[in-house]
Structures are given as C-alpha cells and as structure tokens.
Chains A and B, each alone.
Chain A
Amino acid sequence: MKKSLVILLVLGFLGPLIFAQEEPKEFVIYRDKMSRENHYIPSGWMGDWEDLKFDDDYKENSYSGVSCIKITYSAKKSRGQGWAGIYWQNPANNWGSKKGGFDLTGFNRLTFRAKGERGGEIIQKFKVGGITGPYPDSAEVDTEPIELTSDWKEYTINLSGKDLTYISGGFGFVVTSDQNLQGATFYLDEIKYGFDPGLKPVAKLAEKMPFFVYSDARSIKNHYIPSGWMGDYGDIRLDQNHKDNPYLGDTCIKIIYSGECSQGARWAGIFWQNPANNWGYKDGGFDLSKAEKFTFWARGEKGEERIEEFKVGGIAGEFLDSDSASIGPVILNKEWTQYTIDLKGKDMSYIIGGFCWATNIDVNPEIPIIFYLDEMRYE
C-alpha cells in the first residue's frame, strides 16, 4: 500500500512534467489585444508607413478570443516607396541597435491566421527575423507572396533547422502597391511560435518550370524583388504596374533611366534579388537547375535604346550564385521582341540574382532612355 502510494505520488509529480514536455510549446506574439501572453511590439513600420492603418483591438469576427488585428493598406505611396510593412520587435523600435531578441530555440514554426476583406489581397511576404545591425537576428525566413482568401486560414512558416537563438524581429509582413493597386484590408490573429515534431527543414527543391521573375504586377507567380539598384540609382524610375501596351496580361514593367548621373557613376542598373537587397550576404535564392533558358520580352520607347547587359545570376558574396549568364549589348526594338539567355551547361542550382539589366550614358545617344520588360521567366 505504501509502495503504491509512493508510486502514485511519484506519478503525481512526474505527470505534469511529462505532460509539459509533450504539450506543444507556444510563444505567442498576438492572442488578443490585452493578452498577457503577447510578445514583441508592432513598432517597426516601414516603407510607405503612412499608408497603413493598424488596429490590434478589432473585435468584429476575430478568429478566436475577443479581438484580432485589422490592417488597412491604402497603396497611396505616401513616401514614394510602393511598399509598406510592419515588424513586431523586441524591444519596441529595435532595428538591431540594442540587445533584446528572444531565444526561441526549441520552436520550429510560426503559425498565424489571416484573411482578406474581400479575398485576393496579396501579401508580398510574411517574415520571421532578418533584422540586421550590431545585434542582428540569427535567422531570416520569408514566405513567398500569399494571396489571402476572405475566410480565415492558417499559415505556417517553417523554421525547422533555423538558428533561432536571437530573434528581435519576431514577425512581420510586407505589402506592395503593385500587387494591391486599390489597397488592401486584411486581418491577422493567433500569431505564435510553436513546435511540430513532424516538421522537417525545408529542403531546397529544384523549382518547376516555367519559373517567373515577372508575369504581371499582381501575379503571385512573380519571384525575386527588383531591389538591387546600382550605379546612378537616382536616375532610375521603375513602374512594375505599367498598363499601356504590355506584351501579355495586364501590365508590364516600365523603366526610365534619366542619365542625370545622380551618383556620379555614369551607369545604372537593377538586380532582381531574393530576398530583397540580398547581395550575397544572406542565404536565399532558388534552385533553378531545371532551367535551360531565361526568356523575356523587351521593347524601347524609341527603338534604339542600348542596354549593355541583361544577366541572370552572378551575385557574389558570402553566398554565391552558382553561375551567371548574360547577353548584351542589346539594341532594343520599338516592337516587343523576345530575348533569350542560354543556360545550357550552366549550374543554376543556387540563384539569388534572378535577373539584371545595366546600361550607361556613354553609349546611349539620347538620354533619357525608356524601355519596357514583360514575361520574364526561366524555362
């Protein structure tokens, strides 16, 4: 009897312990407005931040609890950026300048619920980590663009295999005006880190072809961000949502290079990167091993614009593109013309720089030059 009591007592102590170990862990970012479980502060407003309205005590039709987050994006480009986003930071407004991240080791996923006001709203990316500076996050994971539905849906960011020892940017999102021309209203709820024993690290699989860099402004098939502005970057105007005479679909890309030498370089260009602004300093890119060629359509406003180089790959940093290929110089036609970059024999297994163009004022008799791009894809 005494023996069984001892065993029962032991079980009585062990029970919660064992249960605690088996119970999926949670680390909540948002449960309800005033929830004590919440971590991180939505303080890192970015881009056209004035285009965003944020209500984290929205009580109508929350997924669970009493409130959810309602975000309204006006797409007015109030700061001329064409994008906006919010980082949940710890402490508030920490852009890596002070110590403050959480050690989230032991978790392997971030889940959240989201829905759009109407459905069809596109979130360029949701993200975890990625804050740089003297106290940088130990990991950065971005989702591909997500098109929301009008019903609540759970989304998961797989963090398996990632170093989560220091994360001060607990969660974030980015929306763009190109993908939400009329703006977007969307809702978030139940944002939390958790653990799923069945979750495996995401193996980079070779992407299926065709693989688009740009299809249409709003397309979620688009990959890579035209973030790597080079040379006289102040001379470039980029409109990814140009509607006049696209080659295919509703929109094409319009680029104006003014040749004013804003930065004194006499040349300019843009790299489409993954993730944005990645010059090889961080992991990213896609496995495009299956690609045999890269094709795109281009035309010049006048038909004599000279682009020195169109290129794929070639970013060289700590993380190195596995290869590069290019064509050029190319004198553009006034009519849409398809160009091909041959990738046969190239190792395209790791490509951060999905596409690039560059030109200069010394070879273009007439400045500014205006040219258009469309249907840029790996095949």
Chain B
Amino acid sequence: MRLSSKIKNLKFKIILLSFIFYSLPFSAYAQKIPSSKDLVIKAWDAHGKRDIENTFKYTQECIELYSEVVDREAKLLKDFPKTSEIEKYQTYNDVAVCYFIQAESYMRQADYQKAKEIFNLIIEKYPFSQAWDPRGWYWKIAEVSKESIKKIDEEILGPKEEPKEEPKERIKTRVKLKDTGTQDLVDYKRYGRFLNLGTRDYRYEILDQEGLSKAVGEGIWPNTTSVRKNPEFKRVEKEGRLKQSHWDLLNSEDLEAAFFKWALYPEPKGVSQFYIGLILERSGLIRHALKAYYSVLIHFPDSYGWTYWHTPWYVGQSALSRIIFLLRRHPELGLKLMDARIKVIGGFDNDLKNDIFIVNPGRIVEVKETKKEKDEELRIEKKIGKGKVRLVQYEDKSWQLLVDDTPYIIKGITYAPTRVGQSPDEGTLGNWMEEDFNNNARVDGPYDSFVDRNRNNIQDEDEKAIGDFQLMKEMGVNTIRIYHHPHKVNKKLLRDLYENYGIRVIMGDFLGKYALGSKASWYEGTDYNNKRHRRNMIKSITEMVLEHRDEPYLLFWLLGNENVYGVACNADKDPDSFFKFANLAARWIKHLDKDHPVAICSGDLLFFDRFAKYCSDIDIFGTNSYRGESGFGYLWQAIKDEKDTPVFITEYGCPAYAEGRPIEEAELLQAEYHRNSWEDIEYNMVGGGGCRNSIGGVIFEFLDEWWKAYESSKHDYKPLWAGPFPDGFMHEEWLGVCSQGDGLLSPFLRQLRKSYFIYKEIWGGEKR
C-alpha cells in the first residue's frame, strides 16, 4: 500500500470515527434495548388507553427480545417460586404478562378464538408465571388465563347458566386429647430453671424432661411422645386425613387431623407450638391451648415465621398476645399472665440478623376475683394541639382524642361504594361522591341505597331507599376515611354527612404512594429525595389543607397509605427519607392549620423505629393491620416500647367468604373477627386493661368492591394472598360489612352482613 493511499485511508477512518462519535449518543440511544419491565409498563399503559397498535407493538417487542432468556428461566422452574424469589424470574413473568395483555386485547376486540389460543399458550408455556399487582400481591397468570377461557366459553360464547357444583364432604372434628398432662398450670420451676430473665440471654433450661413432659401433656413441648400414642392418631392416619398439607389442614374444620399433623410436622418448634395452640383453641380446649402458647414463651420466645410478603412474624409476641386475649375472653378460668414481655430490638425491618430479643416469659397465675377498678378522674399530663380536635395524655400515660373537649373514639369505616363493573384497571372507576345513575339529583350510594332484607336481589315494595349515610349512622359509625385525590371531593356531601348524620372525615393525602401527589410517572415512582416530587407533594397537601381546614366535618389529616410497602414510591427502599419527608409535611400542615392533628397511615409496624426517630411532628400513628382473628396482638405494646404516641388502626377487616364454608358461616366468622378486633382496640384504649395508647380504628370496608380480583363484573372467590383469615386467604372482594347481592342492582342494593349488626350492637348505633 502506498503512503498516499494510507493517508487517504486514515482520513477516511478519522471521518468515520468522527461520524460515529457524533452520532453515538443518538445511535446508542436508538439501540438501547428496553427492559422487559419497561415494555410491560408501556404495554399496560397502551392497553388501558385502548391503543391496540401500541399494545401489540410493545408486547411483541418484549416477546421477541426475551424469548431466549425466558426459555432458559422456564427450565429452572418446576413449581411456583416463593414470593421472595419471584424477582429472579422477572423476564419469564414479563413475557407471560405480554402474552396475557395480547389475549386481553383480543378479548376486547371480540376475537375470542385468538384470545383463547394465547391464553392456552400461557397455560402451557408459562404455568408458573406470576405478576405483581400494585394492590399488593402477586397473581398467577396461567390461573387467570384459565378463568378467562372459562369466561369466554361459559359466559360469552356458551350458556349463561351457572354450573352446579357438587357440595364437598365436610369433615368437622375436634381434638380429643388422650394425655391432658398432670398439671393445668404448669410449675416450670419444678422441672427446670429460668436463666437471665428479662435479658437478651434469657433461656429456660430443662432439668427434668420426663417430669415436664408428663406435666404438660400431649402435643406441648417437650412432650412429643403422647401424641404418637393417642389411639385416634392411627385411625385418622388410616382414614387418609393426614394427606393434606399441614397448612391446608390448619384452615380446615378437621381439627383432629390438623392437631396430629402439626404435632408431627417438622416446622420450627415455636411455629408449630403456636398453631397447635390455635387448633386446640378452636377445639374449645382453652386450658391446653394456653399451655401450648405459653410453651412458646418459655422455650421458643425468639421463634419467627414469615408472612406472604416475606416480612418476619414474631411468634413469641403473637403467643403472648394470644394468651392475653384468651384470658380476657375466658374470665371463668381465673388466670392472669403477669410480667410477660418480649421486646425485639431491631424488629421493625425485614432483617432477622439484627434482631435482639429481650425476654421475660412472665408467669400465669391464679386470680381469685377481678376487681373492677374504680373509675377515677385522671389528670391530664400532656396536650397536643390547641384547636377543637386535640390529643391528651393522662397521668397513667393513656392517650385520648378530644373533639370540642369531649372524648372521641374513632369508630371509623372506609367508604368507597364502587358500582359493580367499574374498575381502575379499565379506567372506569367513577367518583362515588358525584354519581347519580338514577338521575334523581341525589348521589346514589349515600342517599339512594336500599337494604335487601330478604336477600332476593330485588327491591321489594317494603325495601325503600335509605342511603348509606343513614345506614352508617345506624351502625354507629362516627368517622369515614377518604383521600382528597385523585377524585374531586364533594364538600357539600361531606358537610351533609357531618351535619345530618354526625359522621366526621379523616382527610388523607397519599403522600406519593401510587405516585399520587408527587406527579411522578407510575414507572418512575415517587422518590422522597427528588426535589420536584417533594415540591409537588407539598403543593398537593397545601391544596388539601386550604380546601378543607375550615370544614366542620374534618377530624384530622392523614398522610399516606402504607407507603412503607412501596408501590410506585420508594418508601420501602428508603424509609428514612420517607419518614423525614412525612414529618416535614406534617410540620407544613400545622403551619397551615393549627386546629387539627396530623396522622400517618403506615403498614403494620414496618420501619416503625424510623417513624419514632423522625416523626416528632406527626401526632398519631395510624397503621393498616390485618393480624388475625384475635385482634392486633403485640402491636400496641411494640409501639409503646418504641414511642409514646397515640395509635389508631387505619384499616382492619376480614372477608365474608371462606372456601369450603357456607356463606352464612363465613359471615359469622367475619363478624367474630370484627368483634375481636374491636374488643382489642377498646381494651387498649384509655381506661382499658391494655396499653392505653389506642384511640380507635377504621373498618375496611363498608361495601364489597368487585374490581379487586380483576373481573369487575364478577364477585370473585379466588384467594389473593395468604394471611390470617378464616380459610387462610384474603378474598379482597368480600371485605364489606354490606354486600351488593348478585350485583345487578348495583350501586343501590345492600345486603347487611352479621358484622354490620355486630357494630350496631357494640358501637351503640341508632335504632331504626
């Protein structure tokens, strides 16, 4: 090659490099491969906007880009991964979601054949795919696909008749103990010694295992022998009743089988002792149940389990609360738990490794007579706020909310009467504060609802419209909890609610949850360190306060809705920034309004230590809590141990549906759950026997919402997530104290459940 040629060539290379350099930002941008997650978000967005072209563009792009990766991931899966492991299979799940969106789009276009083909493809190729629902759980894509096919075949293309299901045989048994033990009230000192009580090094050392085994009896640690010798065991096994998993049995009515299974199943001992206690309790064997729970305190106080969301469950604290609950519920036993305490330092996060347990199992003692303490007027020691709504703390450290200097117990309910068929997923969720489907110039739910007393799903002549406001008043509700966004608030309606029905409003701002208020995009999510997001949230709060601060209906302000769990905000990843910002927001609110306290709405006790650390300007700790059939367990004490603050439960509730149970029975279970929950709230109020930091609670919710499990026109039975509910699962469309019947007369028809009447009884609602 000649030199000139070389130079020419070099020039060409330089020009080429320059071109590449200048075009790099563009070409690099153009070539950036979008993540499967990005494409799913865009596809959902397009689908929501009914933009078919882009729906298929984004879904197809995802499918084509990631099919190889997906095949690789698919090979690894032999079952559904645990919740904590789902993110490992993100691409696999995203591709399945893209197919699902395509199938949904075909359904929307009435191309049912094509939709079925794709649903079938999902079932075949992605049987273990799952997708996160922003409402807070994972849904199984193949299962929903099967339901969609069924819907196409049976409801859209086939006959409309409901198939008759053969009723399943119900096995109802109770535990029959062969060896009840030699002592009802076990003298643990006789069989061992307590070391380091009230410290992190607590332990109980068994010195006479044989003696202790005899004393405690069957199924209670360390007696692992008697249960195997119970003659019923062989019979139950022979009948094949132990074949179900121990979790399925736990939620079944076959308590006998559940007891044997849990006594033998190799779960961690603390966990199994707790559930043995629960099974015994359900069998009516209260004394033996107490022994089981107490054995957790004695032997396994630092035992733990995991919730559906992989948050730790402290079994010792739960057992302790259960004992208190049982002793409260059964005064005839004449027993009391004294000095028991389990404090978990570092227990407000998801990390077990930093946990330190300070334990004193206390002792169960006999009490001859429960003397009712004389009600004495307590001296106020501390006041928060100067306006008409204030908080006071008495000399005994109990907290109380005062409105116009009168004690106010929050008897609250979440009110969102959603018409059947409406869904935020479809963009069809209306504003209940304005809807008037019968065009009578009155808002439907609040004024035109009627009670379908005979539950025949039609409005009989004697079933006149009464309206939810009146129904809530009769129920004893004095507060509803609402948010000032995204829908417009009808102030006139709320004024009427207060003036004519005596019901006040807790007014909330989501504080960036679901990206509301921060104006972040859903995908981006609220970042509590982002100046623009913070500015927008402050603006949103300012609008709320200025709009409602002078309204008579306002009880107090509420910030957020369990932001600590994340979902389009980063409070789960950066709780410090979130709580610092929440406190800033509270301070700002107080600057604008001195008359009303500020509360936060958190998620159980996750990151409560950060709340305690950063939120000195937030007056009330509110939290959504679903802890099971006996109330809120150790929540009150755990809060008290960390921060001296008034507390209210911003959400609690239970589905009125339980798989395998008749509706009447499920409603009873729901009612019982509510009765116990309120009893616990009350027990921990001023004057109660508990922690005295409770100021009330808000039921979730007044009316069933049918959109929560995806098919907004169908009252879905399917379980959404595992939790402490009658059949072990949350059925989110059944949380109302009122149902909407068969849905055909929605939003007007109300069938009042037993839980409604429970509150009417305990809240002392007005009689009609």
Contacts and interface: CB of A to CB of B under 8 A. Distances in A.
Nearest to A306: B353
A260 to B, nearest CB: 11
A173 B318 CA distance: 52
Interface string B348-362: 000011000000000
Interface string A302-328: 000000110101101000101111100
B768 interface: no
A346 interface: yes
Interface size class of A (residues with CB under 8 A): 20 to 34
B352 A323 contact: no
B225 A347 contact: yes
A344 B81 contact: no
B109 interface: no
Interface string B260-272: 0000111011000
Interface stretch (B205-213, B405-413, B504-512): B205-213
A266 B82 contact: yes
Interface of B: 81-82, 84-85, 88, 206, 209-211, 213-214, 222, 224-225, 228-229, 264-266, 268-269, 302, 352-353
A363 B306 CA distance: 13
A323 B221 CA distance: 12
Contact of B224 (A309, A323, A344): A323
Contacts of B269: 309, 326
Given A264-B82, A316-B265, A365 B353 contact: yes
B299 to A, nearest CB: 11
A342 interface: yes
Contacts of A345: 209-211, 213-214, 222, 225
B228 A320 contact: yes
Nearest to A262: B76
8 contacts: A264-B82, A264-B84, A264-B85, A264-B88, A309-B269, A311-B266, A344-B209, A363-B353
B643 to A, nearest CB: 26
Contacts of A362: 352-353
Nearest to B207: A342
A325 B224 contact: yes
A265 interface: yes
A325 B82 contact: no
B307 to A, nearest CB: 13
A261 B268 contact: no
A323 B222 CA distance: 11
Contact of A323 (B214, B228, B268, B353): B228
B228 A342 contact: no
Nearest to B266: A314
A363 B352 contact: yes
Contacts of B268: 308-309
B353 A261 contact: no
Nearest to A348: B225
Contacts of A363: 352-353
Interface in A346-362: 346-347, 362
Contact of A316 (B84, B88, B264, B353): B264
A52 B210 CA distance: 50
Given A309-B268, A322-B225, 9 more contacts: A264-B81, A264-B88, A313-B224, A316-B266, A323-B224, A325-B222, A345-B222, A346-B224, A347-B229
Contacts of B206: 342
Contacts, number: 55
B228 A347 contact: yes
A270 B225 CA distance: 23
Contacts of B224: 313-314, 323-325, 346
A342 B206 CA distance: 9
- Which 8 A/B pairs are nearest by Cβ-Cβ distance? A345-B210, A316-B264, A264-B85, A362-B352, A365-B353, A345-B213, A264-B81, A342-B209
B239 to A, nearest CB: 14
Interface of A: 261, 264-266, 308-309, 311, 313-314, 316, 320, 322-326, 329, 342, 344-347, 362-365
A109 B269 CA distance: 44
A364 B84 CA distance: 17
A325 B225 CA distance: 10
B84, B209, B224, B229: most-surrounded residue (chain A CB, <10 A): B224
Contacts of B265: 316
A346 B212 CA distance: 12
B262 to A, nearest CB: 11
Nearest to A326: B269
Contacts of A344: 209-210
A66 B436 CA distance: 102
Nearest to B227: A323
B85 to A, nearest CB: 4
A324 B572 CA distance: 41
Nearest to A308: B268
A283 to B, nearest CB: 16
Nearest to B303: A329
A346 B228 CA distance: 11
A173 to B, nearest CB: 32
A324 B272 CA distance: 14
B106 to A, nearest CB: 33
A373 to B, nearest CB: 19
Contacts of B85: 261, 264
A362 B302 CA distance: 14
B236 to A, nearest CB: 12
A326 B85 CA distance: 30
A313 B224 CA distance: 10
A293 B264 CA distance: 21
B677 to A, nearest CB: 30
A347 B84 CA distance: 39
Contacts of A322: 225, 228
B213 to A, nearest CB: 5
Contacts of B222: 325, 345
A281 B269 CA distance: 24
B387 to A, nearest CB: 47
A357 to B, nearest CB: 12
Contacts of B225: 322-323, 345-347
A291 to B, nearest CB: 13
B82 A265 contact: yes
Nearest to A271: B266
Contacts of B353: 362-365
A14 to B, nearest CB: 49
A78 to B, nearest CB: 25
Contacts of B210: 344-345
A339 to B, nearest CB: 14
A204 to B, nearest CB: 17
A322 B224 CA distance: 9
A329 B353 CA distance: 13
A320 B260 CA distance: 12
A188 B88 CA distance: 52
Contacts of A264: 81-82, 84-85, 88
Contacts of A265: 82
Nearest to A324: B224
B201 to A, nearest CB: 12
B209, B214, B228, B302: most-surrounded residue (chain A CB, <10 A): B228
B437 to A, nearest CB: 48
A362 B349 CA distance: 13
Contacts of B228: 320, 322-323, 347
A281 to B, nearest CB: 13
A116 to B, nearest CB: 40
Contacts of B266: 311, 314, 316
Given A325-B222, A326-B269, A342-B206, A320 B264 contact: yes
Nearest to A347: B225
Nearest to A358: B266
Contacts of B264: 314, 316, 320
B81, B213, B214, B352: most-surrounded residue (chain A CB, <10 A): B352
B258 to A, nearest CB: 14
A347 B209 CA distance: 13
Nearest to A364: B353
B244 to A, nearest CB: 14
